[in-house]
Chains A and B, each alone.
Chain A
């Protein structure tokens, strides 16, 4: 226990590490709360689109309406803005990426779950590696290996001597920093949000047990922050998807 201003604040490892309750001794396949939430997210997203697509009404209602809004958002807000009309073939992939990450994120504020899956590095890193493989594979397929390497590490219009400096930087950026930052962005945002919510929850509880009235302000802030975290969940899913679109679009059509 850390004591912050005479409050008992649990160490960070306690807030994101959950006990294994199935396949406990397995090093890689142990199941804990985060893994269960991940499976739940797969079921929720799958069931949502399954129900939405079951009865294809001309005038959408209910679930179908929300699903069509999501498709419209991904097509008009993400793909057309970054990849152009030929990127529309990517709609299923981008839609799944967006929906899945949003559901994983929003578990942060769902009562009784209250732990974002993306606050552990594993799943963001896996998804970023998937994106890394995709944009490299499509870049090589569309441009050929040599031309793809040249267009991604040597931007045109730079003085010749500067390439000594630019090429190593661009190489590290393109092949290492991009996927790492992509995973880190969603991970760190959700971890920070989770910690902030816990901080205010601990503060409110401690002040309520000691002074009753003192809990009003942090309690109100906790509710406001919960709303803010809903926005963050949406925004991070959007940013992950739009960056994926930018990377894949950029690998397929380099700047000349």
Chain B
């Protein structure tokens, strides 16, 4: 393995590692918001099913919650583009 790394062109290696890093950054950033948005929407649906008359208010609040949670995943998405080898 070390021999293989040593014989590789270091530019190529850097490119490959950059690509891996970008993948990890976005993948990691998507885990938390994925769970979070699931919780937000799931609980909003429960609330709407229990009290259909409050659906309008719940939907507005749900979109707000989604927007705040989703921002974290988007930070990761943008960071993945910013990383350069």
Task: List A residues at the B interface (Cβ < 8 Å).
Answer: 12, 77, 81-82, 181, 184-185, 187-189, 191-192, 235, 238-239, 242-243, 246
Interface size on B, residues (CB 8 A): 14
List 14 A–B pairs whose Cβ atoms lie within 8 Å, in order of A's numbering: A12-B81, A77-B60, A81-B56, A81-B60, A181-B71, A181-B74, A184-B75, A185-B71, A188-B74, A191-B77, A192-B77, A239-B64, A239-B67, A242-B64
The A contact surface, by secondary structure, is: helix
B residues with a Cβ closer than 8 A to A are 56-57, 60, 63-64, 66-67, 70-71, 74-75, 77-78, 81
Assess the A184–B78 pair: CB atoms within 8 A.
yes
CB < 8 Å neighbour of B67 from A77, A81, A185, A192: A185
Interface pair B63/A185, CB less than 8 Å apart? no
**B75 cross-chain contacts in A, Cβ below 8 A:** 181, 184
Report the Cα distance A60→B77, complex, angstroms: 44
The 3 closest A-B pairs by CB, nearest first: A188-B74, A81-B60, A181-B71
Instruction: Tell whether A188 pairs with B77 under 8 Å between CB atoms, given A239-B67, A242-B64, A243-B64.
Output: yes
Q: Write the chain A residue with the least CB distance to B66.
A: A239
Given the known inter-chain contacts A81-B56, A192-B77, please indicate yes or no for A242 contacting B63, CB distance below 8 A.
yes
In the complex, what's the smallest C-beta–C-beta distance from B60 to chain A, in angstroms?
4
Whether A239 lies near B71 (C-beta < 8 A) is no
Cα distance, A243 to B65, chains bound together (Å): 11
Q: Which residues of B contact A246 (CB under 8 A)?
A: 64
CB-based contact B74/A238 at 8 Å: no
Q: Count chain B CB atoms within 10 A of each CB in A77, A181, A191 and give the residue with the most.
A: A181
**Please, how many angstroms separate the alpha-carbon atoms of A12 and B74 in the complex?**
17
Tell me which residues across on chain A come within 8 A of B60, comparing CB atoms: 77, 81-82, 242
* Cα–Cα, bound, A181→B75 (Å): 8
